[in-house]
Amino acid sequence: MKILHLGDLHIGKKVNGYSMIENQRDIFEQIYSVISKHKIETVLIAGDIYDRSVPSEESIQLLDDFLSQLINILGVHVIAISGNHDSPTRLDFSRGILAKQGLHILGEYKTLVNKISIDNFDFYLMPFVTPAAIRKKFETIIKERELVISTYDDTMKFIAGEAAKTLDINRVNIALYHGFVIGSGDDEKEIEKEESVKTLAIGGKESVAERYFLDFDYTALGHLHGNRKVKSERVRYAGSPIKYSFSEKNQKKSLTIIDIDKDKFDLEQIEIKDIYPMIELKGTFDDIMKADINCDAYLKITLTESVLDAMNKLRSRYSQIMELGIEVPTNDSIDKDHSSKEIHKIPADQLFTDLGHSVGIEIDSEEMEQLRDVINEIKEVAH
């Protein structure tokens, strides 16, 4: 079976106030083309379908268009799970009816083991879930077995372990899971995580051991935005199809295709083309205005000098500035000793001049004359 593994669509996401809907529509068109060209039979979506638990109308419509194209036009099976950004209850709406149309979607655990069978393939659906939710849902069996479910690792050891008990070695067994999976010997603090990936556990362990998934013929992961394997080639993240933060600017986004059977495993990556590249620029105002780049790129700009009304001036050339910062080189004037004991000895106009120097601003003679007039007026009022 030829399978397309997707994850982290984040439909409706905004990056620094810029909507990604246009980009997502374009990516979906590329996906349709790949499915047709490579004769994909099944599409897996490993969570974070929406970016928010309460998606906008525009986001709902886009997902509807996407799934309708996949199922009604391209004729593929779609198997999807919820991620930590999704609302499990909303995704579960009408799932029984939708399954008859070829859309198998699971938001929350109705049973401990959730399996979908297609031909000689069994797909085990493991949506994102917190330890607390699992303790509540399966309280009886957890108490009977005297299990401790306090971390994500405990949770998936329990869930994946139950699924593994039902595996038929004569069939192809594929797992879908949304979470932070690490290999044996890896330290979760050392694993690269993109800025746009939400932390699952504040101050605690959020990783899950890869070994719980090694009994499956393939595990389709979602959560991390880079397209990568864990340690095994068969335990993989599809990554997000779009760059959702500047920490992803150097990632080459791609679509993961697997051609798999009991005695076969082929992997292919199809590069995705960005509508707008993500670019970081640093330098003087003049240098940045002269940069040889796409003027519609998503930009993170760092100016090395202070410029009055910089954003509006930069937008006269660049249409999509997501971030603007200023890093002014330290000036000798900033090292001057203006302690509280001696500051009264320094003329006010000199203090303003030194302050200007420290942030890269020169006060010209006309501005200085106006400044002195204001200082004198303040002194008169004070006295």
36-85 tens-digit pLDDT: 999 999 999 999 999 999 999 999 999 999 999 999 999 999 999 999 99
- How far apart, in whole angstroms, are the C-alpha atoms of residue 158 and residue 163? 9
pLDDT for the residue numbered 336: 47
Lowest mean pLDDT among 33-47, 158-172, 369-383: 369-383
- The token pair at 352 is 């303003």
Confidence of residue 359 (pLDDT cuts 50, 70, 90): low
Instruction: Report helix, strand or coil for 19.
Output: strand
pLDDT for the residue numbered 333: 43
Q: Strand (E) positions, 230-349? A: 235-237, 254-261, 264-271, 278-283, 298-303, 321-326
- How far apart, in whole angstroms, are the C-alpha atoms of residue 259 and residue 183? 24
pLDDT for the residue numbered 257: 97
pLDDT for the residue numbered 353: 78
For 127, phi then psi, to 5°, come to: -65, 165
Residues 6+ positions from 293 with CB-CB distance below 8 Å: 277, 279, 281
282-328 pLDDT per residue, tens = 999 999 999 999 999 999 999 998 888 889 999 999 999 999 988 87
Q: Is the pLDDT of residue 86 over 80?
A: yes
Lowest mean pLDDT among 12-16, 100-104, 268-272: 100-104
Going from the C-alpha of 288 to that of each of 263, 291, 359, the distances in angstroms are: 55, 5, 19
pLDDT for the residue numbered 196: 79
Where are the alpha helices (H) located in the chain, listed in sequence order?
A: 21-38, 57-68, 88-91, 95-99, 131-137, 139-144, 152-164, 285-289, 310-315, 348-358, 365-382
Confidence of residue 30 (pLDDT cuts 50, 70, 90): very high
110-124 pLDDT per residue, tens = 899 999 999 999 999
Specify the pTM.
0.81
pLDDT for the residue numbered 289: 95
218-262 pLDDT per residue, tens = 999 999 999 999 999 999 999 999 999 998 988 999 999 999 998
Give the CATH number of domain 2-271; options: 3.60.21.10, 3.40.50.620, 3.40.50.1000, 3.20.19.10.
Answer: 3.60.21.10
Q: Indicate where the chain has its CATH 3.60.21.10 domain(s).
A: 2-271
- How far apart, in whole angstroms, are the C-alpha atoms of residue 57 and residue 296? 27
Q: Is the pLDDT of residue 341 over 50?
A: no
- How far apart, in whole angstroms, are the C-alpha atoms of residue 183 and residue 219? 13
CA nearest to 49, candidates 156, 131, 127, 159: 127
